[in-house]
């Protein structure tokens, strides 16, 4: 229906758009190319179908903010469908009398789809724009104290406004255009909404002119928008898919990259400049939709610390927007990451809980950037909270971050007849005790309870005893990767000699490290949590629970390293249920669990400045659950919760799962 002149102009405009877009994409590709490492396109090929599947209902967005995500889904469906629609419209514009997909059933269904999705898109978009611009919720922005690029605060709003207006105009004018066509050519039973609208202008003389205007509005705007895309967070529509396609395979969200200290050629450890991050980390900045979900779930942000994982990604993105051309050309950024992306205090506030990684709908991993920055601070600049020194020295000299020597490591087992690997060199299962029971009184109770359970069930097990060394998790999370390297190699050597069939541990940090981090160092072990072993033993009938014991109201705090990093949430609960307790769940449970505050090396230092302790925040939730007792599955969670209970003067009993199970078994006298 386009005139010849229009066709020529449209063609030329398309060429201009393609050119401008190509330049923008080239710039973008070169920006990302400044990152380290390589993108593995083989992974993309492998994952293509599953990622396409993810795009159907956008499952990752529904982790959080369900209503909003539903509206977004309708918009996304509309947007995706419009790729077809725009193609159809251009063809119809160029080929006179052409009806895209024909007049039959298929064409009809196509038009019905377009009609319905147009309306749902417009309605949802208006709702979301209302939310953002009228309701102005705090979870779409960050506190004033957060380090945010000066252009970002207004920039995000402006971007949303431009995109919102564009989509409304683009979709709206196309909708109007259809209604004009219908007004001229007659009702279309397959486009009920457009038909309804068309009744407004049946018989209007300007309809043909209006049709052309609508065409140019709809498709002209698309051409403008494509060029604007690379500067907008709207580009997430491509980059989220790329993120899912290209993320390296990881055994768990917490499995960090290995630095090979035996490689003498390495000069840079960790990342202090933006071009020292990997390509996939730079891509995160383009995928980021600036939705602030990660900030919402961050325990540090929620307790008033300076850390906002969202701000980190947004600052990277704004750096690319503002200074990306120079950066793409090979110039270094004149500011380090600490200066423009995330301040020092925020880096040290992270508890490495992984909530930000878990919640991100576009598969971003801000936690990894933070830990890479820590590595650079520790290894290159020797700059880290002084309190870490004691933990580092302890791990170096006595292989125990609390400084307890190997000779005292088995003191907790006095009187319990716990077999060491010397006495029982080929056990069915190796119990990795960890450093905490070597010293902390609470952890000792857990270990003793578990030892008694193992004995009762007649398990053929052994512990490494004095030969056990710290797994080095604290060193790794604190950025002291060289110490971790030594501990990992040492432990792998010992374990590969022992050749355990399976390993069970009472500490999720040990579990995570042994299971997910050690394979990169030559150690591949099957590792389970003690709650999983207890679950097995119960299923095998080797442990007799007491069903008649008085029902206690217990709430269970999921440890981050058990649940989020290792997907173990079911067995602790089934084990607790077998102990005849009534489980009252907290809101923030399972993968949504809220960190106790000890991770990321925080157990070894004073918390960064904020409104309250992370543990206090979590403990308030424990109190609000109405439970009389709190069950934990990790010695660090235990330490933090016990301290928090004392601070709150609370009578809530805090016990490990093993203690609760043992109490129940022993109650049948």
Q: Which residues bind other proteins (CB under 8 A)?
A: 269, 378-382, 387, 389-392, 394, 397-398, 402-405, 407, 436, 439-441, 443, 480, 482, 603-606, 639, 643, 646-647
Q: Which C-beta is closer to other proteins: that of 71 or that of 436? A: 436
Comparison of 145 and 387: residue with beta carbon closer to other proteins: 387
User: Which CB, 371 or 603, lies closer to other proteins?
Assistant: 603
- Least separation in angstroms between residue 604's CB and other proteins is 7
Angle between helices 657-666 and 570-578 (to 10 degrees): 20
Q: Write down the least CB distance from residue 263 to other proteins, Å.
A: 11
**Minimum separation from the CB atom of position 267 to other proteins (A):** 10
User: Minimum CB separation from other proteins for residue 615, in Å?
Assistant: 11
307, 522, 539 from 286: Cα distances, Å? 20, 35, 48
> In angstroms, how far is CA 380 from the centroid of its own chain?
28
User: Is the Cβ of residue 61 or residue 444 nearer to other proteins in the bound state?
Assistant: 444
Nearest approach, Cβ of residue 426 and other proteins (Å): 25
Indicate the residue among 235 and 642 with the shorter CB distance to other proteins.
Answer: 642
Task: Look at residues 271, 251, 259 and name the one whose alpha carbon lies nearest to residue 489.
Answer: 259
Question: Residue 634 contacts by C-beta under 8 Å, 6 or more apart in sequence?
Answer: 507, 508, 509, 559, 561, 562, 596
Tokens 């401008």 map to which residue? 20
Question: Cβ contacts of residue 473 below 8 Å, gap of 6+?
Answer: 484, 509, 510, 512, 513, 517
Is the alpha carbon torsion for 290, 296, 299, 305 positive or negative?
positive
Considering the complex, what minimum distance in angstroms separates the CB of residue 467 from other proteins? Answer: 11
Contacts for 382 with CB less than 8 Å, ≥ 6 apart: none
CB of 549 to other proteins, least distance (A): 23
Closer CB to other proteins, 267 or 587, in the complex = 267
H-only helix segments in 133-235: 152-185, 192-198, 207-228
Cβ(664)–Cβ(545) below 8 Å: yes
- Measured from the CB atom, the residue of 231 and 348 that comes closer to other proteins is 348
**Closest C-alpha to 451, from 442, 440, 462:** 462
Question: In the structure encoding, which two tokens stand for residue 608, read together?
Answer: 């960064």
Residue 125 near residue 293, CB atoms below 8 Å: no
What backbone phi and psi angles, to 5 degrees, belong to 128? -65, -35
Please state the closest distance from residue 590 (CB atom) to other proteins, in A.
29
Q: Which is nearer to other proteins, 61 or 439 (CB)?
A: 439
Distance of CA 464 to the CA centre of its chain: 35
CB of 401 to other proteins, least distance (A): 9
**Could you tell me the smallest distance in angstroms from the CB atom of residue 50 to other proteins?**
40
Q: State which residue, 63 or 390, has the beta carbon closest to other proteins.
A: 390
Question: Cβ 547 to other proteins, closest distance in Å?
Answer: 30
Q: How far is the CB of 447 from other proteins (least distance, A)?
A: 13
Alpha helices (runs of H) in 279-406, residue ranges in sequence order: 279-287, 293-297, 299-302, 309-328, 337-340, 344-347, 355-359, 366-375, 388-397
By C-alpha distance, which of 505, 623, 519 is closest to 559? 505
Question: Cα dist. 367→95, 359, 393 in Å?
Answer: 52, 12, 26
**CA 352/CA 254 separation, integer angstroms:** 8
Pick 441 or 624: Cβ nearer other proteins: 441
Which residues, at least 6 apart from 257, have a Cβ–Cβ distance to it below 8 Å? Answer: none
For tokens 């996939």, name the residue: 280
Interstrand relation of 429-432 and 503-505 (parallel, antiparallel or unpaired): parallel
Q: Smallest distance, Å, CB 16 to other proteins? A: 52
525-551 burial: b if 16+ Cβ within 10 Å, else e: bebbbbbbbbbbbbeeeebebbeebee
Instruction: Count other Cβ atoms within 10 Å, centred on residue 104.
Output: 9
Provide the 10 A C-beta neighbour count for residue 109: 12
* Residue 461 β-bridge partners: 429
Would you say 94 or 261 has its CB closer to other proteins?
Answer: 261
- Shortest approach of other proteins to residue 606 CB, angstroms? 5
Strand (E) or helix (H) holding 576: helix 570-578
In the complex, what is the shortest distance from the CB of residue 499 to other proteins, in angstroms, rounded to a whole number?
Answer: 23
Is 171 or 435 the residue whose CB approaches other proteins more closely?
435
Nearer to other proteins by Cβ, of 147 and 510: the residue is: 510
Structure tokens, 135: 């309701």
Tokens 């934990």 belong to residue: 632
By beta-carbon proximity to other proteins, the closer residue of 326 and 393 is 393
The DSSP-derived string for 182-201 is HHHH---TT-HHHHHHHTTS
Nearer to other proteins, 407 or 540 (CB): 407
């Amino acid at each position: 229906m386009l005139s010849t002149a229009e066709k020529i102009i449209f063609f030329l405009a398309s060429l201009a758009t393609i050119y401008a877009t190509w330049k923008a994409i080239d710039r973008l590709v070169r920006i990302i190319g400044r990152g380290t490492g390589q993108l593995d396109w083989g992974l993309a090929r492998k994952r293509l179908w599953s990622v396409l599947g993810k795009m159907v209902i956008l499952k990752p967005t529904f982790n959080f903010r369900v209503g909003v995500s539903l509206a977004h889904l309708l918009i996304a469906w509309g947007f995706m469908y419009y790729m077809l629609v725009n193609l159809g419209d251009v063809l119809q514009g160029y080929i006179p009398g052409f009806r895209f997909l024909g007049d039959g059933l298929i064409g009809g269904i196509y038009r019905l789809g377009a009609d319905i999705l147009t309306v749902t898109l417009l309605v949802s978009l208006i709702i979301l724009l209302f939310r953002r611009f009228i309701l102005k919720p705090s979870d779409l922005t960050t506190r004033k104290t957060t380090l945010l690029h000066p252009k970002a605060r207004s920039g995000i709003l402006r971007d949303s406004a431009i995109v919102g207006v564009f989509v409304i105009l683009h979709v709206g004018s196309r909708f109007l255009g259809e209604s004009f066509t219908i007004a001229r050519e007659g009702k279309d039973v397959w486009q009920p909404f457009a038909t309804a609208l068309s009744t407004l202008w049946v018989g209007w003389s300007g309809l043909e002119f209006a049709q052309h205007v609508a065409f140019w509005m709809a498709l002209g705007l698309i051409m403008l928008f494509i060029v604007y895309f690379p500067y907008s967070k709207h580009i997430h529509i491509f980059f989220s898919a790329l993120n899912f396609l290209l993320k390296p395979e990881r055994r768990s969200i917490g499995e960090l990259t290995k630095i090979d200290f035996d490689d003498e050629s390495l000069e840079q450890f960790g990342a202090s400049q933006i071009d020292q991050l990997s390509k996939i980390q730079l891509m995160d900045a383009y995928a980021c939709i600036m939705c602030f979900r990660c900030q919402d779930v961050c325990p540090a942000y929620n307790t008033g610390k300076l850390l906002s994982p969202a701000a980190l990604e947004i600052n990277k993105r704004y750096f690319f927007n503002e200074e990306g051309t120079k950066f793409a050309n090979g110039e270094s950024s004149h500011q380090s990451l600490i200066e423009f992306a995330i301040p020092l205090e925020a880096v040290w506030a992270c508890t490495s809980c992984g909530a930000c990684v878990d919640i991100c709908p576009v598969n971003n991993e801000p936690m990894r950037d933070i830990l890479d920055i820590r590595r650079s601070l520790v290894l290159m600049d020797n700059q880290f909270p002084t309190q870490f020194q004691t933990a580092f020295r302890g791990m170096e000299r006595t292989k125990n971050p609390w400084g307890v020597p190997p000779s005292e490591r088995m003191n907790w087992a006095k009187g319990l007849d716990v077999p060491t690997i010397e006495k029982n060199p080929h056990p069915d299962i190796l119990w990795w005790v960890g450093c905490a029971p070597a010293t902390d009184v609470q952890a000792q109770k857990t270990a003793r309870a578990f030892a008694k359970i193992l004995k009762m069930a007649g398990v053929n097990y052994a512990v490494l005893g004095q030969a056990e060394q710290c797994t080095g998790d604290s060193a790794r999370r604190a950025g002291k990767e060289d110490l971790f390297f030594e501990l990992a190699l040492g432990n792998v050597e010992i374990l590969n000699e022992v050749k355990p069939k399976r390993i069970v541990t009472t500490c999720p940090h040990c579990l995570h490290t042994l299971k997910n981090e050690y394979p990169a160092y030559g150690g591949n072990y099957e590792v389970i949590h003690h709650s999983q072993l207890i679950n097995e033993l119960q299923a095998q009938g080797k442990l007799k629970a007491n069903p008649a014991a008085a029902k206690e109201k217990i709430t269970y705090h999921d440890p981050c390293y058990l649940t989020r990093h290792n997907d173990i949430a079911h067995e602790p609960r089934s084990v607790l249920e077998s102990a005849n307790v009534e489980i009252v769940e907290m809101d923030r449970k399972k993968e949504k669990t809220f960190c106790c505050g000890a991770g990321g090396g925080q157990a070894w230092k004073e918390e960064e400045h904020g409104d309250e302790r992370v543990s206090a925040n979590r403990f308030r939730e424990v109190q609000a659950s109405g439970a009389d007792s709190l069950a934990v599955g990790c010695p660090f969670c235990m330490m933090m919760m016990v301290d928090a209970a004392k601070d709150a003067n609370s009578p809530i009993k805090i016990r490990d799962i093993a203690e609760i199970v043992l109490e129940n078994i022993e109650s049948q006298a």
